[in-house]
Amino acid sequence: MVSVKEKPPLIVDGKRIDGRRPDELRPIRIELGVLKNADGSALVEYGNTKVLAAVYGPREVLPKHIAMTDRAVIRCRYRMLSFSAEERKSPAPSRREIELSKVIREALEPAVMTELYPRTTIDIFIEVLNADGGTRTAGVTAAALALADAGIPMRDLVAGVAVGKVDGVLVLDINEIEDMYGEADMPVAAMPGLNKITLLQLNGVLTPEEFRQALSMALMGIRKIYELQKEALRKKYASTTEE
């Protein structure tokens, strides 16, 4: 699938391939309420990674037998659009997408107060419009915003970011090239207000010391994203006040 290219130097003079410092996030853009039909929606960009999330609900569960009597059912679908990657991605749900849907759902479930809406469902759709590394963490960030935009009570917002190791250096918010040629990739999602981690994966090899350092880097990045999330939610209503 991936064309075989020479591995480029990923760290030059302490700067990364896109000119960032190792502990620097890509520029983040957040837009809320972009979809009219959805109860809540958000568009999140981490650099060139662009993810759209839509939330519907709480609504009637169909098929009825999956409803739970004590809480709402959360259904989540993560999908990469055919044109999101450099080479066309087959639109059929892949093994990877099905797994990520589950992982993202489990990252969001602790935040949503599902017990308030028994016998209902909350449907989350995450569509990756453009993939440049870190789509699952951008997906979690976007989905949490869409849930908040839909007015669903949440224990805290969830934000995510990935940490990687490239050329022996730990770097925050890795992009596609760093992921492809790097030694490790560790996506993390957390609820910073409650100090709880909801998603932690690791692909590759880190020493225990590197792991600890990578985790604290990720949590630092998550805190920054969390503030941006809150600011975006506040801005949506502040702008209508001025009208």
Partner 1 sequence: MASSSHVVYVQNRSIIVPGDIVAYGDVEIATPNYLQRIEDGRVMATVTGLIDIQQVNDRIRLSVIPLKGRYIPKEGDIVIGIVTDIGITAWFLDIRAPFPGVLNATDYLGRPFNPATDNLRKYLDVGDVVIAKVAQFDRTRDPILTVQDKGLGKVVEGSLIEIEPCRVPRVIGKRRSMINMLMELTRCNIVVGNNGRILLKCPNPEIEAVAILAIKKIEAEAHTSGLTERIREFIIEEKIRRGLMNHGVS
Q: Which residues bind partner 1 (CB under 8 A)?
A: 39-40, 57-60, 69, 113, 116-121, 148-157, 191-194, 226, 230, 233-234, 236-238, 240-241, 243
* Residue closer to partner 1, measured from CB, 112 or 128: 112
Q: Indicate the helix (H) or strand (E) that contains 106.
A: helix 95-108
| Residue 8 to residue 60: CA distance in whole angstroms | 51
CB of 153 to partner 1, least distance (A): 4
| Residue 35 to residue 38: CA distance in whole angstroms | 6
> In the beta sheet, which residues pair with residue 29?
45
* Residue closer to partner 1, measured from CB, 97 or 109: 109
- Per DSSP bridges, beta strands 40-46 and 73-80 are unpaired
CB of 181 to partner 1, least distance (A): 36
* Residue closer to partner 1, measured from CB, 67 or 81: 67
| Residue 108 to residue 123: CA distance in whole angstroms | 12
Q: What is the CA radius of gyration of the chain?
A: 18
* Residue closer to partner 1, measured from CB, 137 or 175: 137
Closest by Cα among 28, 35, 3, 18 to 149: 35
Contact 206, 186 (CB under 8 A): yes
* Residue closer to partner 1, measured from CB, 107 or 191: 191
CB of 15 to partner 1, least distance (A): 33
101 DSSP assignment: H
| Residue 150 to residue 197: CA distance in whole angstroms | 23
CB of 173 to partner 1, least distance (A): 21
Determine the residue type at 101.
S
* Residue closer to partner 1, measured from CB, 156 or 210: 156
* Residue closer to partner 1, measured from CB, 58 or 164: 58
| Residue 166 to residue 92: CA distance in whole angstroms | 32
CB of 80 to partner 1, least distance (A): 28
In the block, which residue shows the tokens 């059929």? Answer: 92
CB of 53 to partner 1, least distance (A): 15
Structure tokens at 125: 């759709």
CB of 206 to partner 1, least distance (A): 29
Closest by Cα among 189, 217, 188, 192 to 203: 188
